[in-house]
Structure 1
Amino acid sequence: MSYIRGYDADTLREIVDARDCKERLDEIGEQRSLPALLERVWLLKVLDRLDEALVISEQSVRVARMAGTRKDLLRSRILHASVLHVRGAYAAAEQELTMCADEAEGQNWSGIAAFAYQHRGKVYFDTEEFDLARTDFKRALFLRQDAGARDDQLESTLLAIDAADRRRVRTTVAG
């Protein structure tokens, strides 16, 4: 079940039904499996419970390091970086996402690389580096297409490209 109802065209943040997300969070409870930890991180992030999301995301990275695959570790690190981003730690998020994107591309893991580029593009978007954001979103789109991503993933990336273009034009006209 997808909890995402859409994306805010101005902020690129997920639009979710908070009640559904809270119910799912309650269902997961204190489960310690990596999938449960990752889901908890995301739910806490979209519910704007960022302190809790940070703690659980750090735990998910540790669990992935000890018991997961390299792909699991990359997914955990990307999600952790997305929490750092939303908390305003842009430089740390950008650095972590860059390392994850490079590693994923080096392994030819298109879907994971796209995930990293999409999130790094959002960091650039929030720091008003719209050309860099657009470049990352375009790279994410290419990689998602290459990986055979679902339509909703492609649509979110197309929305992000459009938003970066609009903001870029707005900034150029205002400047």
Structure 2
Amino acid sequence: MSYIEGYDPDTLREIVDPSGCRERLEEIGGQRSLPALLERVWLLKVLDELDEALTVAKAAVRQARMAGTRKDLLRARLLYGTILQFRGSYDAAIAEMTPCAEEAEGQGWPSIAAFAYQHRGKVSFDAGDFDAARADFKRALFLRQQAGAPEDQLQSTLLAVDAAERRAAAASIAV
């Protein structure tokens, strides 16, 4: 079940059903499997419980390093990077996401690479670097098209490209 109801066109953040997210968080409880940890991180992030999200994200990265696949580790690190982003640590988030994007693309994992570029673009967007954001969103779009991604993923990326282009244009007018 998806808890995402859409994306804010100005912030590119997920619009979620908070009560549904809280219910799911209660259902997961203290489960320690990697998928449960990753889901908890995301739910905590969208509920703006960033301190707890950071703690759980670090645990997920540790678990993925010790017992997961390489893809698991990339997913955990990318999610950890999104928590850094939401906490305003943009340089740290980009430093976490960049090697993940490069490795996923180098390994021929277009859906993970697209996720990485999409989220690195969101970090740049939040940091006000709209040209870098637009470049990452366009790369994510290409990779998602290549991977045959579902329409909702393509639409969220197109929304992000449009938002970055609007912000870049507005910033160039303001200068």
Say yes or no: TM over 0.5.
yes
**Percent of counterpart pairs with the same letter?**
70
**Aligned equivalents of 1:123, 1:129: Cα separation in 2:** 9
Name the residue aligned to 1:83: 83
Name the residue aligned to 1:18: 18
- State yes or no: 1:61 paired with 2:61: yes
Q: CA deviation at 1:127?
A: 1.0
Q: CA deviation at 1:173?
A: 1.1
Name the residue aligned to 2:96: 96
Structure 2 counterparts to residues 10-159 of structure 1, below 5 A: 10-159=10-159
Q: CA deviation at 1:12?
A: 0.3
SS at match of 2:64: helix
**Aligned equivalents of 1:143, 1:83: Cα separation in 2:** 23
How many residues get paired? 175
SS at match of 1:6: strand
SS at match of 1:56: helix
Give per-residue Cα distances to partners, 1:82-118, cap 9 Å, x unaligned.
Answer: 0001001110100111010011011010000011100
The one-letter code sitting in structure 1 at the alignment partner of 2:64 is A
The one-letter code sitting in structure 2 at the alignment partner of 1:106 is G
**Aligned equivalents of 2:25, 2:149: Cα separation in 1:** 26
The one-letter code sitting in structure 2 at the alignment partner of 1:104 is A
SS at match of 2:6: strand
RMSD: 0.5
Give per-residue Cα distances to partners, 1:27-59, cap 9 Å, x unaligned.
Answer: 000000000000000000000000000000000
SS at match of 1:11: coil
SS at match of 1:15: strand
**Aligned equivalents of 2:68, 2:145: Cα separation in 1:** 26
The 4+ residue runs of structure 1 with deviation greater than 6 A are none
**Unpaired segments of 5 or more residues in structure 1?**
none
The one-letter code sitting in structure 2 at the alignment partner of 1:173 is I
SS at match of 2:15: strand
